[in-house]
Amino acid sequence: MALLTVIVPLYNEQDCAQACYERLTQVLSDMSVSAPDNKDNKNKENKTEIETKTKIEFEIIFVNDGSRDNTLSIIQSIAQNDNRLKIISLSRNFGQQAAFSAGLEYAKGDAVIFIDADLQDPPEVIPELVKKWLEGYQIIYGKRIRRKGESVFKLLSAKIYYKLLHSLADVKIPHDTGDFRLIDRCVADTVLKMPEHNRFLRGMTCWTGFKQTSVEYHRDKRVAGQTKYGFFKMIRLATDGIFAFSAKPLKLVSLLGSTALIASLLLLIYVFVSIFAGNTAAGWASIICVIMFFGGIQLLALGIIGEYIARIFDEVKGRPNYIVDFTVNISDDYE
């Protein structure tokens, strides 16, 4: 028997909540995945691979991320009739990554699955994730092979972003993966020990280095409602990914600085030559160009350094990543 915890963040998802609950319970209810049962039989002699059915029990954690619509009342009424559905209600909107983290803290499962409420990542893929888990993998991320119903801008920006992240980040974060993934208990415990505030969970889980693989799937349209990731939230997540996983932008700044220095030294030689040649009067255009160039570089450098300082400031304050207002169907002894 294995316990699965499925964590779903919800922010103003009144139109998706019910459908999400139904599809998830349908998939999870009679899921017993057949796989070589090397979880329970680790120490037993197991020469001929025994195919056993592992019974899967589950709990679903809906994290209400400060919704201002009817999401909370809808999920509360579902939870009244089904105690496998737990609710963690945060005191305000803390963002999707914080909501996942809150769910993780309360998750009891041997494996934890992150999935969005809008059913863009189909719950029907979950048995495939679980199968890989039973084969011994500890992180199984969903890899998107097609993204239905997303704007050209989002597809293009995602592609460029993942390329950039891949080349900058010290940890190789796989292309075309989102938060939809299954992580083993050992990964969950490690992530829980990571106190950082700028949480980029897809990077943090990879960083742990446990055995990873992917399962390909088609990403669907949202079942209802609008995206909750506005332009600025998306930029915030994207910059968190880069600045939390790479110091290369800082190195780029020093490279830029030293290149500019060399360029200015060459320019100085030119200035001296011009003085001796006696043609120093004209030159307004070149002065403006130089000022603009260095001004630009300095501002860029300051901006990049600022990104890091802002994050250091955030970490130093040491505030919690989220505040739990109340929980439903969660006993006090959750640990």
118 binds ligand UDP (CB under 6 A): yes
SS3 call for 128: helix
Piece of the chain touching Mg ion by CB under 5 A; list 117-125, 145-153, 154-162, 171-179: 117-125
What is the nearest approach in angstroms of ligand UDP to the Cβ of residue 308? Answer: 24
10 binds ligand UDP (CB under 6 A): yes
116 binds ligand UDP (CB under 6 A): yes
Tokens of 257: 């600085």
CA dist 226 → 34, 90, 120, 220, 221 (Å): 37, 21, 12, 14, 10
Selected from 65, 110, 184, 240, the binder of ligand UDP by CB under 6 A is 65
Piece of the chain touching ligand UDP by CB under 6 A; list 23-31, 81-89, 92-100, 242-250: 92-100
**Helical residues (DSSP H) of the chain, grouped into ranges:** 17-29, 71-81, 96-106, 126-134, 152-168, 185-193, 201-207, 231-245, 248-277, 284-317
What is the nearest approach in angstroms of ligand UDP to the Cβ of residue 21? Answer: 13
110 binds ligand UDP (CB under 6 A): no
93 binds ligand UDP (CB under 6 A): yes
120 binds Mg ion (CB under 5 A): yes
Here's the x/- map for ligand UDP, 175-214, by CB under 6 A: it reads as ----------------------------------------
CA dist 239 → 89, 159, 244, 252 (Å): 27, 15, 8, 16
Assess contact for 297 and 63: CB atoms under 8 A: no
Q: Residue 86 or 219: which CB sits closer to Mg ion?
A: 219
25 binds ligand UDP (CB under 6 A): no
Selected from 2, 6, 7, 9, the binder of ligand UDP by CB under 6 A is 9
Q: Which long-range contacts (CB under 8 A, 24 or more apart) does 246-253 make?
A: 246/168, 246/169, 246/170, 247/170, 248/168, 249/168, 249/304, 249/307, 250/304, 250/305, 250/308, 252/304, 253/300, 253/301, 253/304, 253/305
120 binds ligand UDP (CB under 6 A): yes
Selected from 162, 210, 229, 294, the binder of ligand UDP by CB under 6 A is 229
Assess contact for 176 and 162: CB atoms under 8 A: yes
Amino acid at 113: I
Selected from 26, 91, 227, 264, the binder of ligand UDP by CB under 6 A is 227
Q: Which of 188, 25, 34, 37 is nearest to 109 (CA)?
A: 188
Out of ligand UDP, Mg ion, none, what residue 228 binds, judged by CB under 5 to 8 A for its kind, is ligand UDP
Helices 96-106 & 231-245, crossing angle to 10 degrees?
60
Piece of the chain touching ligand UDP by CB under 6 A; list 157-165, 225-233, 275-283, 310-318: 225-233
Positions in the binding site for Mg ion (CB under 5 A): 116, 118, 120
Positions in the binding site for ligand UDP (CB under 6 A): 9-11, 13, 65, 93, 95-96, 99, 116-118, 120, 227-229
